Amino acid sequence: MNWFKSGDLLDRAFAVGIILKGLDGVLEVVGGVLLLVVSPSTIDQLSRALTQHELSEDPHDFLATHLLHAAGSLTGSSLQFGAAYLLLHGVVKIVLVAALLRDKLWAYPWMIAFLIVFIVYQIYRMTFAFSIGLLGLTIFDLVVVWLTYREYGKQRAERKTQDSAETRGLNV
């Protein structure tokens, strides 16, 4: 990973964005595993304990009420869907980020396609239930797609230059 050593601000932004995506993938895998091993009633009790103080100060606290609603709606199929979604999404992110950090050229278009699919899904979700957090995530994903596309172009150009230099060296 040579983005931190030498590169401009956008190279560093790409590296930071990709690393954040990788950390997000790890958190999604942990969340998916927790959904599989922790009972819905335990999740509900934990969310009530975590939000009790905040709701005593402000009964309409946005984050706390949404957390309680989400925890209370975890049942059977929605729990399984949530766990599968988090696990799949997280594992794919981790694999793609690891490949990008190792400069694997194949990973760039896959990361772009993967993020675009989820951007479309996020926009679709916002048409039903707008969320500032989801909007922020969508904007972040759009920036990461652009930075990944930019870096992919640079990597392809570098490889082409290296290949032609090797070819010239063999012909001499």
Q: Which helix (H) or strand (E) holds 110?
A: helix 107-128
**Six token digits for residue 64:** 């706390």
Check: CB of residue 31 under 8 Å from CB of residue 86. Answer: yes
Q: Span 134-155, mean pLDDT? A: 93
* Closest residue by Cα to residue 115 from 127, 97, 128: 97
The pLDDT score that the predictor gives to residue 169 is 67
- pTM flag (> 0.85): no
- End-to-end distance of the chain based on CA atoms, in angstroms? 32
pLDDT tens digits, 149-160: 999 999 999 888
The full set of domain ranges for the chain reads: 9-166
Structure token digits, residue 150: 């930019």
Contacts of 33 (CB under 8 A, 6+ apart): 83, 87
Range with top average pLDDT, 31-40, 42-51, 148-157: 148-157
Do 29 and 94 touch, CB atoms closer than 8 A?
yes
Q: Cβ distance 123 to 58 under 8 Å?
A: no
Reading the block at residue 170, the tokens are: 């063999």
> How confident is the prediction for the chain on average, in pLDDT?
87
Per the structure block, which two tokens stand in for 81?
């869907």
